Structure 1
Amino acid sequence: MRAREEVLAEKPPAATPPPEERGKARTPVRFTSNIVGPILFVRDLFCFAISIPMAAAAYDLLFDALLVPSVHLFAVTTMAACYILIRSSKHAYRRSLVNFLDDDGDSLFDAVISSLVASALVFQFGMVDTYSRGASVLYLLALVLSLSLTRPLLRLLLARLARKGLIGQRIAFYGSDPASLDSTLRLLNSLQLPHLRLVGVADDRPGPDMSTDLPFLGGFDELSTMARRGEIDQVLISVPHLPVQRIHDIVEQLSAVSVDVSVIPRQAIELAPDYRVNLLGMVPVLTLWQRPFRDMNQIVKRSEDLILGGRALLLVLPVLAIVALLVRLTSAGPVLFVQPRVGFNNEVIHVLKFRTMYADRTDLHAEQTTTKNDPRITPVGRVLRKLSIDELPQLLNVVRGDMSLVGPRPHATHMKVGDRFYQDAVRGYAARHRVKPGITGLAQVKGLRGEIRTVERAKRRVELDKEYIDRWSIWLDLWILLATVRAVFFDSDAY
């Protein structure tokens, strides 16, 4: 073992190209996946441009009026500039094939915000009298349509370019350490990235330990020759715990040719895929846990709750009054059932519901699971629970900020699955408390509404709650709200 370490610490010989290889270097036309960012930028500019004649044609068909070109050109230019600034602030134009769809839907929301900003500036500069609101709405619709239609086309284009090799990353590993190579290969294969090509493994140590199906390429001389011929784009150092000086030596040996040299940190393999790579200044950090609603997201989420939740509350006021009267007249006890439940940041909140059980049989801490034909439930309460009408008072929780319209359902403080508390039965259960609980959620529209009878179903519910947190967008919220209507009438698991 010591002899192997001594060989590893030796400085590798200089990679000097043989005379017959000198002057034969060629540079094929090929891009890395970072070209996706500029392509997205060009796509956005194209959508803004093509939306102008689309909106103008629609306006001519619908309205018999003339437009003032200068005013609307100012609005479009302002809207485009605002949109690009917003997208740039979100690093949308730094995306690669790995993550270019991560913000699916955000671009449409950013277009709406940019349109509102442009309209506000038109008003601020006193041009509102010659500004057509109809034309601005048509332009926004044309832009949203073009952004939506070009997304799948862009996906197909990038996949085609990757298949043709015009977008690609050909990777050679340096270091034949079996354990680290195996872990790295499993991680890269799980990502299913179409542009990655794993060329082989290189090592200058005598008798390298090859335990993979990748071909052995040789040492530094062979790597340099392949880079000079344009056959590799990146060298990944896959030997763990290399001394810093040894890494500098490897970089120095490969610095004579045009190739990327990168190191995969040991933690990046061991913790994958449960992290995101961020920059703390110039220092890359692996973020293992991150607040889901921050900056503009928390403002958007709260605005959604206030606007939609407030309007829904006003709309159902007559229903609330009728149900309150039915509950009061059909069984003795209070109209509302106020239950302590676990909310945001694992704090206890008081959730409002219409009382559906007999007053002397209510279970404040949910120590007993509700079952089908539960004798504690009143006849009126059975109907209310089936149609989720008993949950409507929670709109008050939404307006006052304890809950959201959409989010993981809040659980009672002593809720169990089987004979175990939720937090003991399901690993990672507390992660669902990173956001405010909701009246409805992804788990509820995916068939996990009502009683959870097994640990497997409890785990699946928590998985869907965490998936919602990771995937959140305003469009996902709207989809869940619409899907909730179907779940209320066709789901037989609620009682």
Structure 2
Amino acid sequence: MSLPQPSFPEFDGPPDGARGKAEFYFADLRALARRAAVEAAQQDAPAPRAISQPAIIGATLLFDLCAFVGAGVLSHMRALGGDAPEPTLLIWGVALATAVGLFTLQARWTYTIRALADFPRQAMNLALAFALAVAIWDADCVISGFERTAFLRQWSLDWFAWGVSATVASRAVLAPLLRAWTRRGALARRTVIVGGGEQALETIRRLEESGKGALEILGVFDDRNPTRLPDALGRYRLLGTFDDLESFCRNARVDLLIIAFPLTAERRILHILQKLWALPVDVRISALGSKLRLRDRAYNFIGDVPFLPAFDKPLKDWEVALKAMFDRCAALALIVALSPVLTAVALGVKLSSRGPILFVQKRYGFNNEEFGVYKFRSMYVDQCDYSAAHQVKRGDSRVTPFGGFIRRTSLDELPQLFNVLRGELSLVGPRPHALKCSAAGQAYEAVVANYFARHRVKPGITGWAQINGWRGETDTVEKIEQRVAHDLHYIEHWSVWLDLGILLKTPFVVLTGKNAF
């Protein structure tokens, strides 16, 4: 997305009188200079950091998963002493212990950058997680009447020792790396400050003193004329006015937005929050100087600076990592399992009409970014609608006979598994819409005021709206309103279990052909 082009008030001519003319022209020059400075600051915004926090957390989570599974399998084989493995016992034991161990680690807030940099705490949490996981597995075996106690003892002791050794060794390498990256600012959260008064200056000063390395302050947004801003603000870039906030946050991949107004400025704070709630950013209100005294647990602290939480990203870093890991593993497994189906459909498309097998259509994804979604081509090649300006209707003449079949059965959507592998889609999420989709002749964003809030997470191949019947043509306003309402419900109530439930229900919805043609 490109930044919005500047607009200037219409020129009506200078006022009468030499002094009036001079003041008019100087004011106009100052306005032009201010706008040019703002645009230059936005264009020169630092690129997103090279080291991704979710990527680090995801790699750590994947390593722990492999450690639980690998140590369990190897210790099982050693305890057997050369005898044939027992698949049922092994699979059930590894699955139960791994689930208990990872749940314990997450419950103790192990998967955050700050926690991962604390090696003693990590070592303690890992030992506790493996001990609890193995103990619950042993208790399950004893309760079920498992009699081979010597085998179980050997398996459990080796599992604990090997698993803890591997994961603690990985943390011994990771923790100092994270501390070094934090000192260099490589893991800093990209931050903007809203407000250019004394409250903002004090907030920035305290953050630089006590939160060093945690934040990368990109600049400040304020609606006032630069001549009314404090002189000390000159060392921070003025990025624009409040109207520029949304586009800048989307383009510059901002992680955190800090509102630094006195809490008494309720109207200004509410005005800002209304602009920001649809963005995938954390929004915090500086509580410095506030006479309101709450318990520490009511605040979020960065360094020693207290903030009141306003909005959070729908998914935290560990949730983003967990979802991404699940998506890619499941997508790869599905591609392998469905490879005969993929081959058969590709052959059917090729033989049924001339043209390419795949159809690539631009759609809106996470953070309103455009990407190309893959589908098996279901229309005649000379009638493909790449922008979805005219949605497919029942009995549409543009659709080939074979295309109609794969659309009704949703087989045309299968190539999107490759979008999941590329990280552009999730298996479950709000469905990505084409660029020119409309409801009753109106653009979606014109019909539903909070439409773009559905782009706070990655779109998905299937979703909550789809399994509840809100898929297919949007020829009425109600259909897009209901789809967006279901998408927002999914975002606000996301969990791994919700994703699994949607995935399990999707085949049944597809088989009924509900709303699909």
Tell me the TM-score range normalised by the shorter chain: 0.3 to 0.5
TM-score (norm 1): 0.48
Structure with greater Cα Rg = 1
TM-score (norm 2): 0.46
